[in-house]
Structure 1
Amino acid sequence: MTDSTFLTPAAAAKRAGCGRTKIMKALENKALKAVRSNRNRWQIKSGDLEDWMTANIEETQSDSDADSQNDTETTVKITRLEAENEALKQRASDLEKDRDEWRAHAQKSVWKKLFG
């Protein structure tokens, strides 16, 4: 991209490898240069984004590391919840089987009392 190419905050975030919220905070703090379009939308020059990325490269890398850590934690949580879900399904199945056995026993008992 050339210096005259404009990006939306979402496109800038994607290009910078960070979240849109981080781009918006940089705009609010005036750490990242941008202008408002006639439609009152942010437009960020690609060159300004490159400058901001260079100035914030360490912070961007630490965010990527944090995202990777969060992804790992999320995967562990999902795996744990899937195992818990399977255990609960098995428990429900066992309870249904037990219920059906008791129901059959109760029906036999009622028929015995009625018809000896």
Structure 2
Amino acid sequence: MIEWFTIVQVVVALAAGLLCIVLGLAGRKPNDLTMGAAALVELLLIVQLFIALFSPAFGNDPRGSLLEFYIYLISAVLLPVAGGFWALIERSRWSTVILGAVCLAVAVMVYRMNVIWFVQGQ
């Protein structure tokens, strides 16, 4: 993991989550803005996946459990996809709120991945 990229991911996921929740509670159905915000969170997670795969080859080894880290990462990658499908199938204001909750959950998961990679000892 790269620490500054993790911070960017958390900030983007929090902003996307808050945006989707506010728009959903205001009665907006999923649209290009909310789906695009969730897609940006997903794109950053895919980049994080590649960073995590190649970081150990360059001497950036995790301090915590690698299995736990990848379980968090794969789960986080799947969340925006599932939320996006839900939003496309059920086009209601609550789908937009769910997209926001998914993005907030991803922010927490990325923070936890950072703790596993940099802080947690074995």
> Is the pair's TM-score, using the shorter chain for normalization, greater than 0.5?
no
1 or 2, which has the higher helix percentage? 2
1 or 2, which has the higher strand percentage? 1
Q: Which has the larger radius of gyration?
A: 1
Q: TM-score, normalised by structure 1?
A: 0.31
Q: TM-score, normalised by structure 2?
A: 0.30
More contact order relative to length (CA 8 Å, sep ≥ 6): 2
